[in-house]
Amino acid sequence: MKLYDAVKDVSSKKGTSIYKLERALGYSNGSISKWNRQVPNAIRLQEVADYLGVTSSYILNEARKEDQK
> How far is the C-alpha of 3 from the C-alpha of 63, rounded, in Å?
5
> How far is the C-alpha of 60 from the C-alpha of 20, rounded, in Å?
21
State the angle between helix axes of 42-52 and 18-25 in degrees (0 to 180), rounded to the nearest 10: 110
Report the residue count for the chain: 69
- pLDDT tens digits for the chain (69 residues)? 799 999 999 999 999 999 999 999 999 999 999 998 998 999 999 999 999 999 999 999 999 986 555
pTM across the whole model: 0.89
Q: Architecture of 3-68 per CATH?
A: Orthogonal Bundle (1.10)
Task: Give residue limits of the domains in the chain.
Answer: 3-68
